[in-house]
Structures are given as C-alpha cells and as structure tokens.
C-alpha cells in the first residue's frame, strides 16, 4: 500500500500533472488537497491528446479510478462545471469524481475582492491568478466560509451568503468604490450550479481511510509548490494554502502517519509566475532561451513565466520542509544544447555566503546566486528511456542535482509525454 504525496519543489509548474498521470494508472485514488482553479496542470496522453487541468485532480484522465477534491481545496462551482463540461466533451469519464463535504466554495465576491485588492496594491501586488483563491481561504479561516455541504441545505446556504455579503458589499462599495453584489442572484446561481454536482459531495475522509485500510494505492496531488506555501514560501508572494506535504494530511483528512512517500517534482531549471523574489532569475537571452525551449507560458492565465537556472538552495529547503523521499526531475531535455549548465549552490548576501535559505525576507530579496558550472551536452535526449542512454554530461548533471538536493532522483522527464520518462526507482513497486 502506498500513499504518495506529489508536491512541487519550487514555485509551481514543475510538471506535477505529468507525474500524476504517470503514476495514475497504478493507483486507485487521486486526491487534490489544497488550492483551487489557480492551478494549471498540463497532461499529454500517450495518444498525443493534451489536457489543461485546473481544479479537478489530474487523475481524472485515468479511467476507472476515484478522484477526490479534498476538504483543503477551495471549489469555484462555475469553474468546476466548466472543467467537467470540457472533459466530458472530450469523452473523459468523470463519474468517479467526488468532492469533500467540507471543501470551501469560491464565491463571486471572492473573485471580485481578489481583483480589486490586486489593483489597490499597485506595484506591491502579488500577481495572483485572479481566481478568488486568497479571499476564499480568508473566509475559511475567519469562519465565514460557505462549504460544499451547505449546498445540501438551502436555508443555511441563503443565510451564509446573505451574512457574508453584508460585510463584503460594504468593502466593495465603501473601500473599493465598486457595485454591491446581489445575494439573491448569487444564491439562485449557486443553487442551480449545485444541482449539477451535489451528487458528488461525500465524506471523502472516511472513504479514503477505508481505502487505505484495504491496502489501495493513493496519490495526493499538490498544486502550486513549496515556495508558494503560505507558511514555508516566499511570503507574502505566496498562495493562501499549504502545498507542502503536511498540507496533504490536513487537506485530505487522513492521519499524517498514513503517508508513505513524498515525491518532490523538481524542474531541471527554475520558473516563477507573479511577483516576488527569485535569486536565479535571468533577464538576458538565456531567460528567453529557457522560456522558449521550455514553453514556459502559464496554463491557467497565459502569463509568461519568469525563468532562471536551477537553484539547489531551494531544492534542499524543499527536501527538508516536505520530508521528500524521492525526486522526479522534469524537463531535463530543455537543457540540451548548452555549452555549460549553471547550478546555484549558495547565495551571497551582503558579502556573506549562505548555503541554506536566509532567515529574513529582506535577505532573500538581496540574495545573489553563487554558481557552479557543469559541462553541457548537445544530444537530443527526448528518446532516452534508460539512465545509461543519457550523455555522460547529462548524467553528471542529474547526479550533481541529486547530491545537492539531498534526496534520490527516482524519475527523470525528457519530454512532456507520459512515456518520455526515465524511471530509476519504482516507488509503488517498492512499497508493495
Ligand atoms: P504543473 O502545474 O506542475 O502540473 O506543471 P505545468 O503543466 O503547469 O507545466 C509543466 C509543463 O512542462 C507542461 O507543459 C508539461 O507538459 C511540460 N512537461 C512536463 N514534464 C516535462 C519534461 O520532462 N520535458 C518537457 N519538455 N516538458 C515537460
Ligand atoms: P500550479 O499548480 C505557478 C502563483 C500566482 C501568484 C501567487 C498567488 O500550476 O503549479 P493565487 O491566485 O494562488 O492567490 O496567486 O501564486 N500561483 C502559481 N504559480 N503555478 C501555479 O499552480 C500557481 N498557482 C498560483 O502566480 O504569484
Ligand atoms: Mg501549472
């Protein structure tokens, strides 16, 4: 039995969707445990079909398994129906999707507040996806959120929307000079949407616990990444949930002792979307090279991703805060045809060299990368399926990344397709 968490080890977009799809065929359950439709996961199936998954677990593309939207996720009902509709139009069987009764809902006022807050912040904006994710989590913690289970009780739903809007409308009108939203209309719209998915609302904690006790395999699919975690990321330039592995137990409602492996998805270089510090960011032609060669454009918002070299300080940090047991190193193919490949092995901050994350936000903003340069390779590696087939310099790069990151590399991505993967250790097999 394996309960494996797949988490982004950097700032998101590491290739989590591809990893979920790869292991999906051999598990019975895939669970999303945090975030919402701020995520964008690209999956390329063996027949070449490409999917952009946002709120629904990427396991939905694997026939016959159960996919769970856990209690830690925030669900926008309209976005859910839109994504279900897109999948069904492409003949994906969505009947195995369940939603935790305790998942919170993203309401239209959350989206409105996300957008006006960002405008208000001006140059200091976070660069959010504008999907209302932060405001929905704020309401959850403030104990004024609306949950999936409220859709099953009309009078509670009406009361909750009315009382939330009493406050939100004051903020929208008096602080941001926007129009007030109509609680009656929101109630009617949400109820109509709920009619199309309320049969999916379930006690997913219980079902997962029972499945684990039966010895079934479960994948916990994180969205975003370690450095976007509200506790462990580059605060305040983070998302409002816990993508790190501890978030998996909380956001799925299973005990932490049930987790058996934590796989970090690690891109062979680094990207980031939105604002915030990024020590190895490249503003020159190499940044453009990575963006073009790696196709680094946001799946969800279409924004260009900021690009930079691999940062081992961040990887080591991710290993530590997540307890990463295995790494999936993705996009190694993107680094082919470089004369030499830089790896950031430490930072220089105010004349001092650090090899771990700085203590303060200010120091991280001032961190300058210290690079080590490895010889590059020019061969096309997209067809390699065995580690030994990789050019010697590519092998040396992987081994150096592994050594600096502090956890074994168990899989390597050499292209976007499911089969474009080199497997070094079969984690599911190892776990029985
Ligand atoms: P996620 O949010 O972590 O699921 O990642 P995204 O889907 O947002 O971004 C990763 C992108 O890289 C997607 O376009 C994937 O199809 C692609 N990808 C994943 N693994 C590889 C790989 O090993 N090589 C290449 N060239 N592309 C990859
Ligand atoms: P996946 O799952 C990359 C970033 C946003 C912004 C910050 C806060 O595809 O890796 P939010 O809308 O969450 O309040 O925005 O987090 N962000 C992501 N960046 N990949 C993602 O998801 C992201 N989800 C949010 O750009 O900087
Ligand atoms: Mg993404």
pLDDT of residue 31: 98
381 shares its domain with 278:
yes
13 is catalytic: yes
Q: Which among 35, 27, 30 has a CA at the least distance from the CA of 54?
A: 35
Compute the CA torsion angle 216, 27, 424, 396 (nearest 10 deg).
-120
Check pLDDT > 90 for residue 244: yes
Distance (angstroms) between ligand 1 centre and the Cα of 416 equals 6
pTM strictly above 0.85: yes
Distance (angstroms) between ligand 3 centre and the Cα of 355 equals 28
76 shares its domain with 135:
no
Q: Does residue 98 lie within any of the structural domains?
A: no
Ligand closest to 267 (CA) is: 1
pLDDT of residue 431: 87
Distance CA 274, CA 415 (A): 25
Distance CA 345, CA 322 (A): 20
pLDDT of residue 301: 86
Check pLDDT > 90 for residue 40: yes
Q: Does residue 40 lie within any of the structural domains?
A: yes
274 shares its domain with 401:
yes
Q: Is the CB of 134 under 6 A from ligand 2?
A: yes
CA 247 to chain CA centroid, Å, is 12
Tally of domains in the chain:
2
pLDDT tens digit sequence for 131-176: 999 999 999 999 999 999 999 999 999 999 999 999 999 999 999 9
Ligand closest to 230 (CA) is: 2
- The sign of the CA dihedral 13, 59, 26, 251 is positive
Q: Does residue 97 lie within any of the structural domains?
A: no
Q: Is the CB of 228 under 6 A from ligand 2?
A: yes
Q: Is the CB of 224 under 6 A from ligand 2?
A: yes
Look up residue 345 and give its two tokens. Answer: 């092995």
pLDDT tens digit sequence for 298-332: 888 899 999 999 999 999 999 999 999 999 999 99
Band the pLDDT of 271: cuts 50, 70, 90: very high
C-beta of residue 45 within 8 angstroms of C-beta of residue 92: no
Q: Does residue 7 lie within any of the structural domains?
A: yes
CA distances in angstroms from 297 to 109, 290, 291, 302, listed in the order given:
28, 11, 7, 6
Q: Does residue 293 lie within any of the structural domains?
A: yes
Domain boundary among 177, 199, 221: 199
255 shares its domain with 399:
yes
Give the atom of ligand 2 at the shortest distance from the alpha carbon of 38.
Answer: 24
Catalytic pick among 41, 110, 217, 232: 41
């Amino acid at each position: 039995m394996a309960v494996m968490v797949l988490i982004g080890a950097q700032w998101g977009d590491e290739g989590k969707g591809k990893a979920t799809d790869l292991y999906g065929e051999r598990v019975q359950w895939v669970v999303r445990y945090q975030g919402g439709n701020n995520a964008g996961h690209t999956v390329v199936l063996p027949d070449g079909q490409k999917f952009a998954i946002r709120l629904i677990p990427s396991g939905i593309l694997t026939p016959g398994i159960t996919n769970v939207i856990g209690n830690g996720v925030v669900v926008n009902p309209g976005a859910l129906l839109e994504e279900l509709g897109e999948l069904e139009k492409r003949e994906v069987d969505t009947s195995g999707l369940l939603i935790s009764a305790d998942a919170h809902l993203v309401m239209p006022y959350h989206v409105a507040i996300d957008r006006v807050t960002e405008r208000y912040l001006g140059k200091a904006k976070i660069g959010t996806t504008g999907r209302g994710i932060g405001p929905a989590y704020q309401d959850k913690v403030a104990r004024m959120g609306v949950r999936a289970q409220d859709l099953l009780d009309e009078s509670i739903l009406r009361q909750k929307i009315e009382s939330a809007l009493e406050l939100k409308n004051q903020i929208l009108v008096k602080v941001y000079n926007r129009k007030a939203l109509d609680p009656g209309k929101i109630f009617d719209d949400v109820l109509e949407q709920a009619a199309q998915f309320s049969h999916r609302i379930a006690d997913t904690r219980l079902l997962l616990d029972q499945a684990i006790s039966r010895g079934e395999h479960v994948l916990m699919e994180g969205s975003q990444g370690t450095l976007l975690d509200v506790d462990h990321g580059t605060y305040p330039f983070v998302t409002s949930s816990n993508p790190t592995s501890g978030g998996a137990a909380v956001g799925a409602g299973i005990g932490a002792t049930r987790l058996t492996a934590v796989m970090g998805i690690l891109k062979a270089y680094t990207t980031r979307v939105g604002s915030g510090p990024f020590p190895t960011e490249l503003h020159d032609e190499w940044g453009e090279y990575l963006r073009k060669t790696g196709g680094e454009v946001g799946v969800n918002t279409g924004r260009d991703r900021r690009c930079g070299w691999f940062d081992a300080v961040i990887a080591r940090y991710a290993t530590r805060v997540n307890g990463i047991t295995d790494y999936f190193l993705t996009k190694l193919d993107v680094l082919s045809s470089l004369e030499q490949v830089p790896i950031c092995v430490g930072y220089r901050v105010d004349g001092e060299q650090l090899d771990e994350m700085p203590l303060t936000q200010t120091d991280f903003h001032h961190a300058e990368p210290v690079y080590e340069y490895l010889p590059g390779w020019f061969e096309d590696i997209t067809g390699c399926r065995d580690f030994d087939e990789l050019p010697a310099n590519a092998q040396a790069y992987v081994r150096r990344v592994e050594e600096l990151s502090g956890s074994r590399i168990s899989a390597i991505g050499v292209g976007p397709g499911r089969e474009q993967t080199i497997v070094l250790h079969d984690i599911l097999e190892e776990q029985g």
